[in-house]
Amino acid sequence: MKTRTKTAVILVMTLMPGTRMLAQQDTVFVANKDTIVTHYILSPKDMETAKHVIYVNEDVTTHIIMPENIKLVDISTAKMVGNQCADNMVRIKPRGRMSENELAGTVTLIGERHLAQYEMVYTGIPTKARSSYVISQEELSRYDNPNVLMPEQDMAAYAWAIYSSKRKFNNIRYSASGIRAVINNIYTIGDYFFIDYSLYNNTNIKYDIDELRIKLTDKKEVKATNSQTVELTPVYMLNKTRSFKGAYRNVMVIEKLTFPDEKVLKLEISENQISGRVIYLSIEYADILHADGFSEKTLKHLTSYPNK
């Protein structure tokens, strides 16, 4: 004789401590199982008073775009699935069908200096669900991240302003094999150096950039046993182009540092060939000290450069 399993559905009104009242708490008890599945259905009043709501549907992938790089994504329930698909973008969707206006979960996005939090609400109408959602500055809450001294968005704004400025340096240059290289500007902003440089190709053969390295090394050639070279990692590069025929300009950002007079910062750019052309630019500490000489007027020009 077969026994049927009965399922009891109980609808109750509930007020969660410290939060607004939800219209229904739909608690489903499944016989012969120890698990309890709770569904929160938002009322029309809840939808009106909620600050940040994004509608989702199981047939629509929702892309959330943040105005800065995302460092952490938290999805509060297993009802949603997603991943980070770009530096400043995540994609999410419900795992399956839900009740209309059911709270699928809360998504928290933590960026370089801001965070944003959204309630994901299910809709059975795919056209009502958001396929993309761009976070505005008004929806961001600021927080201090000790691991981020300057957001990448700010670096890009400064770099673009420097890129469009006139050259102030004339003493750092290199020329060989039809390639000429010059340092245009060096700025220190906050805890970073912004190094603006240009390359000029006077040959008919395009230059394919294989590798760009910056090192703190000895000014004079010494024996390998005594030489101490420290390779630095740029934290930002404005121009991602890897080849050029005529002219090329870029702004590199590195963490600010000091070094003795017997050392130099050496920028080394190599070509994408076995016997490729190699470009060297050596920056002495006196040049770095000169980077502190820009005026407040110049700084104001940089910070006012449109970046949003």
Residues 14, 78, single domain; the answer is yes
Last residue of a domain, one of 92, 118, 142: 142
The Cα–Cα gap between 167 and 42 comes to 59
Residues 48, 184, single domain; the answer is no
The whole-number pLDDT of residue 298 equals: 55
Q: Which two tokens stand for residue 306?
A: 């449109």
Last residue of a domain, one of 113, 142, 171: 142
Inside any domain, residue 1: no
The Cα–Cα gap between 54 and 73 comes to 16
pLDDT in tens, the chain (308 residues): 444 444 433 333 333 343 343 344 443 333 444 555 677 888 877 777 777 899 999 999 999 999 888 989 999 999 999 999 998 999 999 999 999 999 999 999 988 778 899 999 999 999 999 999 999 888 888 776 666 677 777 888 888 888 888 888 878 889 888 899 999 999 888 888 899 999 999 988 888 888 888 988 887 764 444 557 888 889 889 998 888 889 999 999 998 887 777 888 899 998 877 657 889 999 888 888 777 544 555 555 555 444 44
Q: Which amino acid is at 303?
A: T
Residues 171, 291, single domain; the answer is yes
Residues 298, 169, single domain; the answer is yes
Inside any domain, residue 235: yes
Contact 121, 53 (CB under 8 A): yes
Q: Which two tokens stand for residue 142?
A: 């600021």
What are the helix (H) ranges across 44-123?
Answer: 44-49
Last residue of a domain, one of 142, 165, 181: 142
- Number of domains present in the structure of the chain: 2
Domain that residue 216 falls in: 152-303
Inside any domain, residue 308: no
